[in-house]
Amino acid sequence: MNKINIAQKFSLFQEQWQPKIVGELNDSYVKLARLKGEFIWHKHDKEDEMFLVIKGMLTIKLRDGDLTLNEGEFVIIPRGVEHCPFAADEVQVMLLEQKSTVNTGDIQSERTVDNQWI
């Protein structure tokens, strides 16, 4: 059982759109990700997903409008809700997801990545 320093973990990778696992509890993973630009529209049919902004600004596009998160703000996207993350400048986020969650949800694409610990 070790403590995790979020900033130190971010210093270990520069890749964008490739969430890294930094912890697991119960049936969930805690992940860190760098995001920049626009992702793809997708949803998770059976999993809610939490986005917490650590540094920068994140927009979550939703079918009925955009949601903009600044540092220290989070949102929980309920299962079944289509969303598309977007960041004009790079943003650092913490994700909380069920272990079964795939980053692109119901869409298989070249953006789909496997889980990776860091």
Nearer to a copy of itself among residue 48 and residue 90 (C-beta): 48
Question: Shortest approach of a copy of itself to residue 52 CB, angstroms?
Answer: 8
Instruction: Give the residues across from 85 on adjacent strands.
Output: 60
The strand pairing partners of 33, in sequence order, are 93
* Number of residues forming the site for a copy of itself (CB under 8 A): 34
Strand 28-38 to 20-25 pairing: antiparallel
Residue tagged 């270990």 (tokens): 12
Closer CB to a copy of itself, residue 23 or residue 113?
Answer: 23
Query: Is residue 48 involved in binding a copy of itself (CB under 8 A)?
Result: yes
- Residue 73 within binding range of a copy of itself, rule CB under 8 A: yes
Under the binding rule (CB under 8 A), the answer on residue 66 touching a copy of itself is no
Q: In a 3-state reduction of DSSP, which class is residue 31?
A: strand
Q: Are 59 and 13 in contact (CB under 8 A)?
A: no
- Please pick, from the candidates 25, 89, 110, 114, the single residue that binds a copy of itself as defined by CB under 8 A: 25
